[in-house]
């Protein structure tokens, strides 16, 4: 387990399918601790059937009867709510809450607390939280599903900790040289001449635009040769076509 990641606490979750969705999301984004406080239903076998390949994770899930027990060893607690509250709270956006947890190792273990699907966290439950997070949404439809809210917070942690770089393709071609590009531009011009593209257009202006497009594309050597081959085949196709009498 990674101690740098927060503990996700679901207080009285009501839907087993949502618990399974949360398990899947936490595995997706590398969060490895889940605590459940009085779930309405908890069946690891059924959850494993929904969140495939999660047996290792489910063995670490902890069940509690009281919220205070689930939060007892936590140094920093962040509660999630969608509702506007009249009580004064230390409000944060998801990204700011994540940054604070990661920048202050002395505040770990940290917990992300989510309330029941039908009502969320009460004011009394939010009183246990050092920070309260509201995920920005369209005001006309502000409420998020439990799994959606967990996914957004988990993704923010995944991003903040550094997303693994994409692996380059095994056979990555080198970038096109200046000489290769000039050959492409020459072939492109011949192809455009072959189809009478410049009949009513300024050749220099058109080719300047072609250059700008190619330069923005940052073609590699293989792509450049492919573009040249297309131009060459276009020229051959025009040469094979009999000319219509003027």
Residue count of the chain: 246
- Give me 161's structure tokens: 């900790």
Please check whether residue 125 is in contact with residue 115, taking contact to mean a CB–CB distance below 8 angstroms. yes
Given CA atoms 163, 35, 98, 83 in this order, what sign does their dihedral have?
Answer: positive
212 φ, ψ (degrees, to nearest 5): -60, -40
Last residue of a domain, one of 160, 195, 229: 160
Report the share of the chain in percent with pLDDT over 70: 93
pTM of the model: 0.73
pLDDT digits (tens, 9 = 90+) for 203-228: 999 999 999 999 999 999 999 999 99
Same domain, 93 and 209: no
- Give me 8's structure tokens: 């996700």
Please check whether residue 6 is in contact with residue 133, taking contact to mean a CB–CB distance below 8 angstroms. no
On whether residue 171 sits in a domain, the answer given is no
pLDDT digits (tens, 9 = 90+) for 71-120: 999 999 999 998 765 567 889 999 999 999 999 999 899 999 999 999 99
Same domain, 119 and 211: no
- Residue 224, domain extent: 178-240
């Amino acid at each position: 387990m990674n101690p740098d990641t927060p503990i996700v606490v679901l207080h009285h979750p009501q839907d087993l399918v949502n618990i399974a969705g949360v398990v899947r999301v936490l595995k997706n984004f590398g969060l490895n601790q889940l605590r459940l406080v009085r779930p309405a239903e908890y069946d690891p076998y059924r959850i494993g059937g929904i969140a495939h390949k999660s047996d290792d994770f489910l063995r670490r899930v902890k069940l509690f009867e009281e919220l205070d027990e689930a939060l007892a060893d936590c140094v920093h607690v962040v509660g999630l709510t969608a509702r506007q509250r009249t009580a004064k709270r230390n409000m944060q956006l998801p990204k700011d809450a994540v940054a604070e947890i990661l920048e202050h190792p002395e505040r770990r273990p940290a917990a992300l607390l989510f309330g029941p699907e039908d009502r969320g966290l009460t004011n009394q439950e939010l009183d246990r939280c050092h920070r309260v997070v509201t995920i920005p949404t369209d005001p006309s439809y502000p409420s998020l599903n439990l799994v959606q809210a967990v996914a957004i917070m988990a993704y923010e942690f995944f991003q903040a900790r550094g997303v693994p770089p994409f692996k380059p393709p095994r056979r990555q071609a080198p970038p096109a040289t200046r000489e290769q590009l000039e050959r492409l531009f020459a072939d492109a011009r011949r192809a455009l001449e072959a189809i009478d593209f410049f009949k009513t257009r300024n050749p220099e202006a058109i080719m300047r635009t072609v250059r700008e497009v190619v330069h923005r594309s940052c073609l590699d050597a293989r792509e450049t040769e492919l573009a040249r081959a297309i131009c060459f085949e276009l020229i051959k196709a025009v040469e094979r076509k009999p000319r219509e009498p003027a």
